[in-house]
Amino acid sequence: MPSTEEKISARDRLAVALDYPDETQALALVDRLGQTCHWYKVGMELYYALGNRIVHELRDRGFSVFLDLKLHDIPNTVAGAVRSATQAGASLLTIHASGGAAMMSAAAIAASTPGSPRLLAVTVLTSMDAHELSGIGIHDSPEKQALRLAKLAQQSGITGMVCSPEEVAMLRKETGPGTLLVVPGIRPTGSAVEDQKRVATPASAIADGASLLVVGRPITRAADPATAAESILAEIEHAAEKLKN
């Protein structure tokens, strides 16, 4: 995945979330989208149902895979999971930054071998707000917690983070142009927010410095998913062009 300073097409800035329980539904969407998108996110629901088979299928079709497993365990276990995930052929893999420095450092070492996915440290989930954080004993704002975890991830050797649209501008400024910032919680104007609490439009997220946008239901539940994806790609392209001028 190129850094934000490199020329990158709109297709390389959008990852469609295949949040389905089975292969039939997931690949039906892939077939409907055709070559509209280059990246697909495979999360826990689909991966736990199919394992590496779905990653291999997407790779065989020429797509890049973002494996969103949010690994969070003791350092040795997470390092082993990273090594196992490498065999799947995914290009990106998430771990939870809240697992701590030792866990992230172990994961970074495990991901240093050729062919390993680039690691992304998940900061604060987009479904969480200040009230939710307070319930687990974190009394800082989501922004402060995201920055704390992002800096810890960098110190642990991880150069990619997942953050909400509300933190992306701050993290871009604080972590530098080479950091890969992956942003879920993207909702085109008029879309339902649903269970996300910290959201933004594609244009505003790109303007704030996002590298890769993750979009699920606004595409997957659209009457015409390809048209919905093309509309988002056009918004990404327009926002990226404005940044150049």
Q: Of 7, 41, 70, 151, which one is the catalytic site residue? A: 70
Beta partners for 14? 213
88 within 8 A of 116, measured Cβ to Cβ: no
Nearest to 81 by CA among 65, 66, 67: 67
For 139, other C-beta atoms within 10 Å of its C-beta total 9
The 3-state DSSP class for residue 115 equals coil
C-alpha 240, offset from chain centre: 19
Q: How far apart are CA 55 and CA 49, in angstroms?
A: 12
244 carries an active-site annotation: no
Point out the residues that are catalytic: 70
